[in-house]
Amino acid sequence: SDAVPSRAAARDGAGAAPTPMVLAEDVHKSFGSTQVLRGIDLAVAPGEVFCLVGPSGSGKSTFLRCINHLEKIDAGRLWVDGDLVGYRQRGEKLYELRDREVAAKRRDIGMVFQRFNLFPHMTALENVMEAPVQVRRQPRAQAAERARALLERVGLADRMGNYPAQLSGGQQQRVAIARALAMDPKLMLFDEPTSALDPELVGEVLDVMRQLAQDGMTMIVVTHEMGFAREVGDALVFMDGGVVVESGHPRDVLTNPQHERTQAFLSKVL
């Protein structure tokens, strides 16, 4: 049978392009009889802001969960940060990361959800310190110092002692971003990070994400914020029905969508 593809296979042939941070080839995922991902092909370059857009139910969150090792792919090949994380063909399991490896890999990926998912009984500072102390076994003083710097970076220097219930949605989401950054991720996944926010709070979260992009973070952003995609995005993929319908530079896809499904979607969100 086929050999398991090596790390080198994740690299572009000429050696000029860097190893993609994420490379998906014909990735499939079903839940029972529901085919959610039906052959996803895409590549995310290091340092890129990669926007993933599409209607509800198109498989965006499922794909992020595959990248973050929360779901295992059914077929196709998926590399994250140069490591093959799943490779299946014809239902046959050819390669899969072991559970212990998964735990280590997940630490390199930060995820920010629509709901802020902060620990309600901990202050902003304690939320940001939690993973470095519990998972990385960092000394508390060191973790606190880093957490303060991160909360300053997201504009919350004056909110460190507040509990989530004392913070606005936008502030909570900025704490969630700082908390993800505390683990020094190589890749940040954002799953509709502003969808649950009151409109007047969206901008402060997008500003933090814009800053993060300027600092060179590799980001995959599921969003309906097309202004953000156009201004900050390096690449945009339009997904529908579990496949990539169209992709390109955000400016091109947004101003001149080629596919009628992309046009129909954009006419609703723009």
Half-sphere exposure at residue 89, Cβ-oriented, CA atoms within 13 angstroms: 7
Per-residue HEC secondary structure of 187-209 comes to EEEEECCCCCCCHHHHHHHHHHH
CB nearer to Mg ion: give 74 or 192.
192
Q: Which of 18, 57, 139, 161 forms a contact with ligand ADP (CB under 6 A)? A: 57
- Per CB under 5 A, the segment of 54-62, 74-82, 213-221, 234-242 that binds Mg ion is 54-62
Residue pair 203/209 in contact (Cβ under 8 Å)? The answer is no
CB nearer to Mg ion: pick between 36 and 143: 36
Measured from the CB atom, is 62 or 194 closer to ligand ADP?
Answer: 62
Q: Does 56 interact with ligand ADP (rule: CB under 6 A)?
A: yes
If contact means CB under 5 to 8 A according to the sort of partner, which of ligand ADP, Mg ion, none does residue 57 touch?
ligand ADP
Listed ranges 53-61, 117-125, 182-190, 259-267: which one lies at the site for ligand ADP (CB under 6 A)? 53-61
- For tokens 């290091």, name the residue: 46
How many other C-beta atoms can be found within 10 angstroms of the C-beta atom of residue 92? 10
Kindly state the tokens that stand for 90. 């014809």
Decide: helix, strand or coil at residue 235. strand
C-alpha 150/C-alpha 64 separation (Å) is 24
Q: Looking at beta carbons only, is 60 or 88 nearer to Mg ion?
A: 60
- As a whole number of angstroms, the distance between CA 77 and CA 51 comes to 21
Shortest distance, position 121 Cβ to ligand ADP, whole Å: 28
In the bound complex, what is the minimum distance in angstroms from residue 236's beta carbon to ligand ADP?
15
Binding site for ligand ADP (CB under 6 A): 31, 34, 36, 54, 56-62
Binding site for Mg ion (CB under 5 A): 60-61
